[in-house]
Amino acid sequence: MIGLIVARSKNNVIGKQGMIPWRIKGEQKQFKELTTGNIVIMGRKSYEEIGHPLPNRETIVISGSKSFTGDGVSTARSLEEALDIIGDRDAYVAGGYRLFAEAIPFVDKMYITEIDTVIEDGDVFFPEFDTSLFDLETGETGGDEIKFTRTVYYRKRK
């Protein structure tokens, strides 16, 4: 099972100036719950933003320019190479833009948290995708001044 996890604003922004442009209590809980004990695949910039290995899970950083090793962290030069390392184990693609765009054609599930805000001057967006290929399940809402809604897109099986 290859999953994807993202949080996006109403205008599809996922990043601004190298960071996630909101802090909402409880919003990142789902990321931890889903990925703990599993494998996370992320781009080099996203990994550098976090700045340290994520505990209790294996992280594969995709980078053509740098190598990351140790403490459950390894490096792959492409998404394809990461998928070879994973084999038939479960993994979650955690961004950014290019990884999402490359992974959407074959992910089984997308956990998309819809953040109820509009971000001006965002510089990284979630790619457009064909929603007709997925069944949508809407889940819980949460948040404080800014609300969020959990959604899961399940790929339709032919």
Nearer to ligand NAP, 49 or 108 (CB): 49
Q: How many CB atoms lie within 10 A of CB 127?
A: 15
Least distance (Å) between residue 26 CB and ligand NAP: 15
Q: Which is nearer to ligand NAP, 113 or 157 (CB)?
A: 113
Q: CA 103 to CA 106: how far, in whole Å?
A: 6
If the CB atoms of residues 4 and 58 are measured against ligand NAP, the closer one turns out to be 4
Q: Residue 115 CB, nearest distance to ligand NAP (Å)?
A: 8
What's the closest the beta carbon of residue 43 comes to ligand NAP, in angstroms? 2
Tell the smallest beta-carbon distance from residue 126 to ligand NAP (Å).
Answer: 8
Secondary element (H or E) of residue 134: strand 134-143
Residues 6+ apart with CB under 8 A from 128: none
Residue whose CB is less far from ligand NAP, 146 or 157 = 146
150 Cβ contact list (under 8 Å, min separation 6): 30, 111, 113, 114, 138, 139, 140, 141, 142
d(CA 113, CA 158): 26
Question: What residues make contact with ligand NAP under the rule CB under 6 A?
Answer: 6-7, 14-15, 18-20, 42-46, 49, 62-66, 78-79, 94-99, 102, 124
